């Protein structure tokens, strides 16, 4: 089974950009970004053939991220504070940008556990990002949306061969490349981040971010190394519950679409509406995570709390009904 499918996406994406859409983009930035992409592709290529250690993979991603930050100049610089004010990141700009790139790249990489899973979820996420960038985020430029849709087209061309039963795997070559490009695209909208522009990409990438955050939390609670692989990721848990390979992938596509629809509500909401959306999303997400046992079957604090409240309410209602019956009996 071929495991370097990401090369097809990388080649299609860059041939389109350099030979057909070259006049649409800032040339110097595109060349520098291409250099960073090559480092990511090389890292994934070596890992697919020889299997790198996690720290070695991390080094490749950091080198590419540093090129994006220092040479291409794509970075976070300021964050708008709600109710007025602007926070200048200054020296924090570099670590915040690098952490963002590393986190999103690894999140997509960790999601690539089933045929077509990372590719399909990424298509949904990048398409939503392109629509949001074009219609709502005026500081990104049209060329960023065109770049995103070019990547989407490359992934759509690859998905039929990658969907179950796959005839080719995405490999780390592909998952690292896609994750890296998604993180860089998001940075265009986060250069001068506002509350909304900061939340939107996080919500859009809800599936890989949730899987990664809870994987780290699960390993910390179980006192295991963060980089140690396990069989309790989102797709593993759904399959352990009885879903087939295809059903699991389609369910996660559906969850990704829900996150995308939620993200499209943020630009249409005011500040307090956005806060309410975030709270509702977090509560719903926690209930789902606890229901499928993503952290562990015995770690369900919110479900236990709701159960206690329901039982307490039920006991109170029963006590009230018994008291009414007793009084009616006494009156008779």
Q: Domain boundaries in the chain? A: 6-299, 301-332
- What is the number of other CB atoms lying within 10 angstroms of the CB of residue 32? 18
pLDDT at 47 (0 to 100): 93
pLDDT at 306 (0 to 100): 84
Antiparallel, parallel or unpaired: β 86-88 and 78-80: antiparallel
Among 32, 95, 105, 98, which residue's Cα sits nearest to residue 65? 98
Q: Where are the alpha helices (DSSP H) in the chain?
A: 6-19, 27-50, 54-67, 93-111, 117-135, 142-162, 171-190, 195-204, 206-221, 234-240, 245-265, 271-292, 301-331
3-state secondary structure of 79: strand
61 alpha carbon, distance to own chain's centre: 17
How many degrees, rounded to 5, is the angle at CA 226 between CA 223 and CA 231? 85
pLDDT at 163 (0 to 100): 93
pLDDT at 321 (0 to 100): 60
* Residue bearing tokens 């860089």: 184
Q: What residue ranges of the chain have pLDDT lower than 50?
A: none
Query: Sign of torsion, CA 321 323 328 332?
Result: positive
pLDDT at 126 (0 to 100): 95
Whole-number Å distance between alpha carbons of 87 and 140: 20
* pLDDT tens, position by position, 261-275: 999 998 888 888 888
Burial category of 179 from C-beta neighbours within 10 Å (exposed 0-12, middle 13-18, buried 19 and up) = buried
* pLDDT tens, position by position, 206-248: 999 999 888 888 888 878 877 777 788 889 889 988 999 999 9
- What pTM was computed for the model? 0.88
What residues are paired with 78 via a beta bridge? 88, 192
pLDDT at 250 (0 to 100): 95
Residues 168, 1: contact at Cβ < 8 Å?
yes
* Residue bearing tokens 């209602």: 317
Residues sharing a CB contact under 8 Å with residue 18, sequence separation 6 or more, in sequence order: 30, 34
Residues 111, 208: contact at Cβ < 8 Å?
yes
Cis before residue 165, ω within 30 degrees of 0? yes
What residues are paired with 192 via a beta bridge? 78
């Amino acid at each position: 089974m071929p495991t370097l499918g990401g090369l097809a996406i990388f080649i299609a994406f860059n041939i389109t950009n350099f030979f057909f859409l070259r006049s649409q983009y800032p040339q110097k930035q595109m060349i520098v970004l291409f250099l960073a992409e090559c480092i990511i592709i090389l890292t994934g290529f070596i890992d697919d053939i020889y299997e790198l250690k996690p720290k070695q993979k991390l080094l490749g991603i950091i080198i590419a991220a540093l090129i994006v930050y220092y040479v291409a100049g794509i970075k976070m610089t300021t964050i708008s504070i709600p109710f007025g004010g602007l926070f200048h990141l200054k020296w924090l700009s570099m670590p915040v940008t690098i952490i963002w790139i590393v986190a999103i790249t690894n999140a997509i990489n960790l999601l690539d556990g089933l045929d077509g899973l990372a590719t399909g979820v990424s298509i949904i996420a990048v398409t939503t990002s392109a629509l949001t960038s074009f219609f709502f985020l005026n500081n990104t430029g049209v060329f960023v949306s065109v770049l995103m849709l070019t990547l989407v087209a490359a992934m759509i061309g690859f998905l039929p061969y990658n969907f179950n039963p796959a005839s080719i795997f995405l490999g780390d070559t592909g998952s690292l490349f896609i994750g890296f490009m998604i993180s860089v695209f998001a940075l265009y909208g986060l250069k001068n981040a506002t509350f909304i522009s900061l939340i939107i990409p996080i919500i859009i990438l809800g599936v890989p971010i949730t899987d990664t955050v809870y994987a780290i939390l699960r390993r910390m609670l179980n006192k295991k190394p963060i980089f140690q692989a396990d069989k309790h990721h989102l797709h593993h848990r759904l399959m352990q519950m009885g879903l087939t390979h295809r059903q699991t992938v389609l369910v996660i596509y559906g969850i990704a679409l829900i996150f995308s629809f939620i993200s499209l509500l943020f630009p249409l909401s005011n500040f307090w509406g956005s806060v309410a959306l975030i709270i509702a999303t977090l509560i719903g997400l926690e209930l789902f995570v606890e229901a499928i046992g993503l952290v562990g079957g015995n770690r369900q604090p919110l479900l236990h709390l709701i159960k206690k409240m329901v039982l307490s309410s039920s006991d109170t209602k029963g006590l009230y009904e018994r008291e009414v019956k007793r009084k009616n009996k006494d009156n008779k």
